[in-house]
Amino acid sequence: MLHVLLNRDVVEGDRQGIPKWPLRVREVGKDTPALKAPWTAMTRDEYAALLALHEVEQLAWLEARAPAPMPEPVPQIVTLRQLLFALRDLGWISHDEAMAAAKNGDLPASFSTLLASLVAAGQLTASMADDAALSWAAMYSAERGAMVWQLFLAAGVATDEQVDAVFRYADAVI
């Protein structure tokens, strides 16, 4: 036989919201003082069942209060090779565009079209479009904060989350 002191009378913050949590347990023997409130007498099987119930309730309580998972950090720089694999694999550019960019530094046609449409809409000057194309041609690594990504965002072609996903994917490319 066991004497179990339950924490149902303890302040909730101290008992973590679970009223049946055993606060203290003592084995009943010949020298054990007489049972007095708030101690509860129970068998070992009853105590084992109480502990099993407590574990389930404790896990549910902890899961309900678990902090939201932190998003994976966004790499600020990836290599051109990593970027081209990511853009190709995620469908932003074709395989042929990726090959041309890798071999010659060619601006992908979809990016060229975007720059031309931004110039036509007055959102970008011809000089800025030339700077973006030159930056692409001379690129050895891609920076998350580069102007080209701001162009995608401004044109509504992509969201911050989508660009972050490209950089996370690129960072995973071996």
Query: Token digits for 45?
Result: 């099987």
- Residue 85: per-residue pLDDT: 96
- Residue 19: per-residue pLDDT: 55
Residue at token pair 């994917």: 169
- Residue 59: per-residue pLDDT: 84
In terms of C-beta density within 10 A (0-12 exposed, 13-18 middle, 19 or more buried), how is residue 54 classed?
Answer: middle
Where along the chain do its domains lie?
2-64, 77-172
- Residue 10: per-residue pLDDT: 55
Helices 80-89, 95-104: crossing angle, 10 deg rounding: 170
Residues 90 and 75: their CA atoms lie apart, in Å, by 17
- Residue 71: per-residue pLDDT: 85
pLDDT (tens digit per residue) in 58-70: 788 788 888 888 8
- Residue 38: per-residue pLDDT: 74
pLDDT (tens digit per residue) in 138-157: 889 999 998 888 888 888 88
Residue 138 CB contacts under 8 Å (≥ 6 apart), including other chains: 105
Residue at token pair 């209060």: 65
Low-confidence ranges of the chain (pLDDT < 70): 7-23
Q: Helix, strand or coil for residue 42?
A: strand
**Helices then strands (H, E): number in the chain?**
8, 5
In terms of C-beta density within 10 A (0-12 exposed, 13-18 middle, 19 or more buried), how is residue 92 classed?
Answer: buried
Buried b (16+ CB within 10 A) or exposed e, 125-145: eeeebeebbeebeebeebebe
Query: Could you say which DSSP state residue 19 is in?
Result: T
Query: Could you say which DSSP state residue 124 is in?
Result: S
- Residue 29: per-residue pLDDT: 80
- Residue 22: per-residue pLDDT: 63
- Residue 73: per-residue pLDDT: 94
